[in-house]
Amino acid sequence: MTIRIFDFSDGFTSATAPSPVGVESSAFSRYASDAAYVTAEGTAENGDAYYNTTDNKVRIYENSAWVENASFEA
């Protein structure tokens, strides 16, 4: 998933596509698996997120399940 930031302060005159930006993996706690997260944190609640170091993906706990939100290239 790529996040794009649009700058509308130029009066909509720019025809240049914005540069892609992503979420840095360092912004998240790092665990090897969902089970490792729960072991370390004690539980998982909706909105909890961590960086899965095995799959190189951000995982978010949503409605009683872990879902993948984004992937990162090393």
Angle of CA points 51, 53, 57, to nearest 5°: 50
Judge contact between 53 and 74, C-beta under 8 A: no
Most confident among 6-10, 18-22, 43-47, 68-72 (mean pLDDT): 43-47
Q: What pLDDT is attached to residue 44?
A: 94
pLDDT tier, 71 (very low <50, low <70, confident <90, very high otherwise): low
* Percentage of the chain exceeding pLDDT 90: 39
pLDDT tier, 31 (very low <50, low <70, confident <90, very high otherwise): very high
Domain boundaries, the chain: 23-74
**Cut 0.75: pTM above it:** no
